[in-house]
Chain A
């Protein structure tokens, strides 16, 4: 009996100490952060933010006394905040528009999407209209686009994902117009779904798809508007379903801002870019 009490006491004690230490940690983190001498604020696209977050962490590790704050809120917020000087750097998942030419853009990476089908599917290429027809349910059998007489399984992405956003923009349709049979979360799930279903069509980041094909997954990347889907064609700008991920500043960058942008464009972060299935932009 005594033994049990002692045991429960010690375990309580351990739990209590853990809780107290944890609370202590939560308390100390912000105060420690405020002590930093140099601070950089980035706001903007939720597509770019996870990548920049990783890059920022590496940058912080390399240069002491720098703290980088990355906030999301969409590309338009990035533009706004940079113009109003609320943020040092903005993040946008597109090229600058014509009325934004007062800003300076620096491409960090490229985002490309490939349509994927099962390797046994005879279809090798689709045009924009055919894809729109398939995804909105106007075409429901593969025969109509040159395949076998089987029902098409449409694989769509969950709402909020950047790949979905880019895909919809390319097709010029709303998400509610799409008639999906399966909705997936990340790239890996999409690839597994399509390799497991002969009649499925889906879309994933080009980097992820190419990587899986090289590893022997029974998957085919479809050519789009006559351009082969490859990381290379995203890099040279010919692939239609792609967009640049940019950092933007209000004026010619200098000091810490320039340092960070240079770092984000350097080969030192290519592994981080590829880990997010983006394509590193050319160094120049």
Chain B
């Protein structure tokens, strides 16, 4: 049919455009970081004494560790909380409370990250600082990130749980399963793919989050010895230094962008692998 062909064409063009944008970004990152990728040995990013680009020291590893630690910490807190909230909305809350609660979570998802950052900078970090100075720390970063990805996990988990076929749940009740038994034995396994997808999206967001983390994490380039030590993430590094960087310094910042992108790519590959294993 004419419209069918037209639609296929249009959709194809759209898909190509989206893929092209992704490829162009990768090309751009490679192009901008090319001078240092060829000029310097790659091992310098792993073994240099520190990150002082103006003094020719380019170790990116502490920032990679900072990025991973902050994201993993946030996931550890947000995943159980998010899934619990979603279960509460779908199975345990009274109808009107559930809808109010859901609105609230959606509102939380809509708050711009810089607002979280500002709150963290003026309230959370000083609070932690009273207890364990200096306050701006890995912990503050983790907490702010948790708040940001929590609604994302909740909403995706809610959608996945709400999409579990009614028959499955009715069968479970017919078999005399308790509510918790239904949740654990039927609903959660059935919604697993959707929940995992949500968690991976949230992880990607946590890895790339810039402003909020920049404002609360302290940004000192080091391997943290405790959660009260400040860290710098790769994304924060770019935002902090890009405006004033020149020459090699600028190129190395693009390398940290490339590294961040690589990290997200590994994450999405892992997600794909998980999916495949489930259906194999």
Interface set of A (CB-CB < 8 Å, partner B)? 2, 5, 8-9, 12, 46, 72-74, 150-151, 153, 158-162, 174-176, 180-185, 189, 192-193, 196-197, 199-200
Contact = CB atoms under 8 A, between A and B. Distances in A.
B134 A153 contact: yes
Contact of B136 (A2, A5, A162, A182): A182
Contacts of B13: 12
Interface centre among B6, B50, B219 (most CB of A within 10 A): B219
Contact of B133 (A151, A161, A176): A151
B259 interface: no
B136 A175 contact: no
A20 to B, nearest CB: 12
Contact of A185 (B129, B214, B245): B214
B185 interface: no
Contacts of B55: 174-176
Interface of A is mostly: mixed
17 contacts: A2-B3, A12-B13, A72-B246, A153-B133, A158-B219, A158-B244, A159-B53, A160-B54, A160-B246, A174-B55, A181-B136, A181-B218, A183-B240, A184-B219, A185-B214, A196-B125, A197-B126
Given A196-B126, A196-B135, A197-B129, A161 B244 contact: yes
Interface in B1-55: 3, 6-7, 10, 13-14, 50, 52-55
Contacts of B50: 176
Contacts of A193: 121, 125, 136
Contact of A12 (B14, B121, B249): B14
Contact of B218 (A8, A46, A182): A182
A9 B133 CA distance: 57
Nearest to A175: B52
Nearest to B57: A176
A2 B7 CA distance: 11
B219 A160 contact: no
A66 B54 CA distance: 36
B239 interface: yes
Interface in B47-72: 50, 52-55, 57
A74 B121 contact: no
B131 to A, nearest CB: 12
B203 to A, nearest CB: 25
Contacts of A161: 244
B197 interface: no
Interface string B118-160: 0001100110010001111000000000000000000000000
Given A5-B7, A159-B241, A160-B246, 6 more contacts: A153-B135, A182-B230, A183-B240, A196-B135, A197-B129, A199-B134
A151 B135 CA distance: 12
B219 A183 contact: yes
Given A181-B220, A193-B121, A73 B246 contact: yes
Given A5-B3, A176-B52, A183-B220, A192 B57 contact: no
A151 B131 CA distance: 12
Contacts of B243: 160
Interface centre among A8, A73, A193 (most CB of B within 10 A): A193
A182 B134 contact: yes
Given A9-B10, A183-B218, A197-B126, A160 B239 contact: no
A162 B244 contact: yes
B232 interface: yes
A158 B240 contact: yes
A189 B215 contact: yes
A159 B52 contact: yes
